[in-house]
Structure 1
Amino acid sequence: MQVTTIETPQLGDRSYLVHDGTTAIVIDAQRDIDRVEAAAAAAGVTVTHVAETHIHNDYLTGGLAYARKHDVVYLVNAADDVAFERTPIADGETVRVGELNVKAVATPGHTHHHLSYVITHGEEQAVFSGGGVLYGSVGRTDLVGEEHTEGLTHDQYASARRLAQEAAQDAALYPTHGFGSFCSSGPATGASESTLGEQIASNHVYTDQDEEHFVRELIANLTAYPSYYVHMSPGNTAGPTEPELTVPDSLDPAELRARLDRGEWVVDLRERVAYAADHLTGTVSFEYGNGSSFTTFLGWVFPYDRQLTLVGSRADVENAIRDLSRIGIDSPDAALGEDPRQLAPGAGVSSYPRVDWQGLISQRPAHDAILDVRRDEEYAASHLEGAVHIPLHELVDRMGEVPEGRVWVHCGSGYRAGVAASLLQRAGKDPVHIDAAFADAKAAGLPMAD
């Protein structure tokens, strides 16, 4: 058995191409299926099956589009109520993929109808656990409704034990989530590979012998997840199409000016340093160079019922279009270029100060507010004394709570603070971007409230 991993670090997910050297199955394909097509071509194999472990909550699947395009079998849990034709599969059923034997194992917890797949090839075995058992933890259990969370957490505990009975301990484990995905929960590790046996020995879902304690602890440690998740399950149930990834023609300067004048969502993809120094008035900064943050935080803040316009280099716009298609933000318009004055001659150009922690200490008047835009759990763990706290994903709706006057804004690394500074300025506020790691604040001499 050979496994090709197709990573999507922007979302913290993995897809898998599994084959016997000739015939292959794809597990949890991302929506941009050209990467799967390229992997299959590179391996010299024919894909005959595509399978879903569950109806995903953090991205739109490419499984249906791939199956239709290549006329292959599409395996989706028989219990999932979907709007498209698929080959239903249920707990305990097996399919043959060349020399591979693929067995579906019901592992509810991340969702009600979650499946894992145990694939056997001769003496070799691998487990594709989706959002079930991850490296160091399990998939979160609160994505299908608060009223289901406790029951699904009990299910997740039982499912891990069921999986341990269905596969050998030396079976390689291949989860879909857990590599930075908000679909993971608890102490997920940064491991890149593991076996089922290694997880049995170290993962808290196995080592905690008190089920009630495990349930309480997992639920207590669940944190906020991106608001765009609400669009993913309905989209996957309806059946996503293959995305259009072509870069559109660049907007006419007059049209770009008009969109800015109307207050539309125009997103500048340049580095936050360049943006702070010089940008079109009314744009919002989402630095693309930090790709792992771009998709999550733009999807978290952007209102899905609006038209999106991207501003940046052709390469950044092209990459951003691909990334955004995975979370259902399709067909954004674009203004190609990195010089604000050339993109929209005559339009307003703005800037704002950017400092580090020493700049905050030496330049900030005592009456100026400090705004912390990290998530609730980050703020609760430690924060600057006197800081106002509004998480980035709540800032647009809570702009009225931002203090008057100059506002010095920080986050954990500087990325979210750059987004927040641009949103503040767009709303008529007077921001200063603190572009520094929060981990360095105490050493810089800032008083902390732990």
Structure 2
Amino acid sequence: MKHLEDLMGFADDHLIPLVDAGLGNSAYLVDLGDGRAMAVDASRDLRALRAAAERRGLTVAFAADTHLHADFLTGALQLAADDGATVLASAAGRRAFPHTALADGDETDLGGLTLRALATPGHTDEHLSFLLLDGARELGVFTGGSLIVGSAARTDLLGADRAEELAQAQYRSLKRLTELPDETAVWPTHGAGSFCSAPPGAERTTTIGAQKQANPLLATPDEATFVRQLLGSLGTYPAYFDHLGEINRRGPAVLGSVPGLAALPAAEVRAQLRQGAQLVDVRPVVDFAGGHVSGAVSIPLRDQFATWLGWLLPDDTPIVFITAPGQDLAELTWQALKIGYERLAGYLNGGMTAWTADGGPQQTIELLTADRIADRPVLDIRQTAEHTAGHIPGAVHVELGGLAARTDEAPNGAVVACGHGERAMTAASLLQRAGHQGLAVLDGGPGDWSKATGRPLEESA
């Protein structure tokens, strides 16, 4: 019991989780006790990490990456450039920038604590977990995309043809991790909300013993069952995942200063659009519904903004944003930059007021409460698992991530539905851009429809 209390005390005193709720990930800042710190799986958006380090008077001396991330650009190079941090990463990752290349069993002296690399392939080929030791005592293990709370991270990011092989490797990696003492803390990168296949739920850290008791994948009787269960749980993932790993291998550009976003007059916005720029409207749903520039894609600025930007728009064309007064331009910029979207042309100065004052036309999309849908056709654009769990009877289902290529499947005059309205408005903007007319968006979700009508939702097999 005393040992467990000591472990919990270490985490309370020295471990600072930094949660990115939008991506469903956690980075970690470890206070090494001598004015230095180690960052684990830090993203390019280092604002929270730097604030935590500053509060404690810490300098980041080490930046460890468990794997070549697919969902965000690593912040390790920026920490190396700004703080002189030593980058710790897998030798098998063949990273094309200076780093300490680690193989299975290699140890790094952190100045009192030791970091031991454990090869845990599966999520990626070169994946490492990092076991943090105080002498011979296992304090905890940074498991990245290997063992996560209630599951294991997906194994199909390197292609469907390798998913089974990597799932087999993931099985062996999890078995290896469960050989650690039960009281060993588990600090994963991927957590609830991550498209790297973390299950829903609030817990982001755990212990080896807790996972042996509660993780359904660890209860499978053999490798074949594990592989079948893991692969059967995988949903779709954002399109940008397919190329971010290679950018992280080469190394993202180091930023020399905090980037700003240029204020563009309406005439310059028109010029940008004529030259092929994408127009993204980040205002709240109700604002977009009331009036927006023709062809604009609605992606409201919220925690999940980066996910949908990276899923729906290319990263190789300039982007012009339309914002509402008071929206945080720095947040908008960093969400784009952390997933490698760097061609940010600017934002419409003065917003829609300036656009209409300059003679610019606008379109609208009807926003309907659940009691006003009546018998209109419904298009449900949620993830398959959400739709299956309960949807408005008769709703056509097309996931938002694939809608741009399947707009012809949307019913004429559809009411578009998601869980709350944000994704539905994004979908409606894509449909409107493709020529659909008479669209509406459900203000709420299927549960609101069921409550308003007194009718049950329909479940799918």
**Structure 1 partner of 2:397:** 389
Contact map agreement 2:322 2:352 (CA 8 A) in 1: no
Q: Is 1:295 the equivalent of 2:306?
A: yes
Structure-1 separation of matches of 2:345 and 2:229? 44
Q: CA deviation at 1:27?
A: 0.8
Identical-pair percentage: 36
Of 224, 230, 240, which aligns to 1:218? 230
Residue deviations 1:412-439, cap 9 Å, x none? 2211111112222223322111121123
Residue deviations 1:209-255, cap 9 Å, x none? 33322211111111101111012111101101234642222112211
Q: Secondary structure of 2:146's partner?
A: coil
**Structure 2 partner of 1:310:** 321
Of 79, 87, 91, which aligns to 2:104? 91
Matches within 5 A, 1:240-279: 240-243=252-255, 245-260=258-273, 264-279=277-292
Of 378, 386, 409, which aligns to 2:416? 409
Of 329, 335, 338, which aligns to 1:323? 335
Contact map agreement 1:62 1:241 (CA 8 A) in 2: no
Q: Is 1:4 the equivalent of 2:16?
A: yes
**Structure 2 partner of 1:355:** 368
Contact map agreement 2:44 2:337 (CA 8 A) in 1: yes
**Structure 2 partner of 1:193:** 205
Q: Which amino acid in the other structure matches residue 271 of structure 1?
A: P
Contact map agreement 1:50 1:73 (CA 8 A) in 2: yes
Of 380, 385, 392, which aligns to 1:377? 385
Structure-2 separation of matches of 1:8 and 1:371? 30
Structure 2 unaligned regions, length at least 5: 1-9
Of 181, 186, 190, which aligns to 1:168? 181
Of 420, 424, 431, which aligns to 2:431? 424
Contact map agreement 1:3 1:17 (CA 8 A) in 2: yes
Q: Is 1:78 the equivalent of 2:86?
A: no
Matches within 5 A, 1:333-348: 333-336=345-348, 339-343=351-355, 345-348=358-361
Q: CA deviation at 1:136?
A: 1.0
Q: Which amino acid in the other structure matches residue 15 of structure 1?
A: A
Q: Is 1:100 the equivalent of 2:107?
A: no
Q: Secondary structure of 1:152's partner?
A: helix
Q: Secondary structure of 1:292's partner?
A: coil
Contact map agreement 1:57 1:229 (CA 8 A) in 2: yes
Per the normalisation by structure 1, the TM-score is: 0.91
Q: CA deviation at 1:338?
A: 6.0
Residues 381 and 262 of structure 1: CA distance in aligned 2, closer, same or farther (over 3 Å): farther
Q: Secondary structure of 2:264's partner?
A: coil
Contact map agreement 2:292 2:362 (CA 8 A) in 1: yes
Of 165, 183, 188, which aligns to 2:196? 183
Structure-1 separation of matches of 2:409 and 2:445? 25
**Structure 2 partner of 1:399:** 407
Q: Secondary structure of 2:310's partner?
A: helix
Structure-2 separation of matches of 1:415 and 1:169? 42
Residues 151 and 307 of structure 1: CA distance in aligned 2, closer, same or farther (over 3 Å): same
Contact map agreement 2:38 2:60 (CA 8 A) in 1: yes
Structure-1 separation of matches of 2:288 and 2:86? 47
Contact map agreement 1:134 1:184 (CA 8 A) in 2: no
Residues 34 and 352 of structure 1: CA distance in aligned 2, closer, same or farther (over 3 Å): closer
Q: Which amino acid in the other structure matches residue 386 of structure 2?
A: E
Residues 359 and 258 of structure 1: CA distance in aligned 2, closer, same or farther (over 3 Å): farther
Structure-2 separation of matches of 1:309 and 1:99? 49
Contact map agreement 2:276 2:317 (CA 8 A) in 1: no
**Structure 2 partner of 1:134:** 148
**Structure 2 partner of 1:152:** 166
Q: Is 1:280 the equivalent of 2:304?
A: no
Of 227, 230, 251, which aligns to 2:242? 230
Q: Which amino acid in the other structure matches residue 216 of structure 1?
A: R
Residues 375 and 34 of structure 1: CA distance in aligned 2, closer, same or farther (over 3 Å): closer
Matches within 5 A, 1:7-22: 7-22=19-34
Contact map agreement 2:446 2:457 (CA 8 A) in 1: no
Q: CA deviation at 1:393?
A: 1.6
Q: Secondary structure of 1:444's partner?
A: helix
**Structure 1 partner of 2:445:** 437
Contact map agreement 1:138 1:188 (CA 8 A) in 2: no
Structure-2 separation of matches of 1:339 and 1:73? 44
Residue deviations 1:238-297, cap 9 Å, x none? 101234642222112211234456674211111101210122233221111xx2222111
Q: Which amino acid in the other structure matches residue 367 of structure 2?
A: R
Kindly report the root-mean-square deviation, in angstroms, between the aligned alpha carbons of the 2 structures.
2.2
Structure-2 separation of matches of 1:80 and 1:392? 33
Per the normalisation by structure 2, the TM-score is: 0.89
Q: CA deviation at 1:116?
A: 0.6
Contact map agreement 1:372 1:410 (CA 8 A) in 2: yes
Q: Which amino acid in the other structure matches residue 170 of structure 2?
A: Q
Contact map agreement 1:31 1:242 (CA 8 A) in 2: no
Residue deviations 1:118-149, cap 9 Å, x none? 10125561111101111111111111111221
Structure-2 separation of matches of 1:352 and 1:418? 8
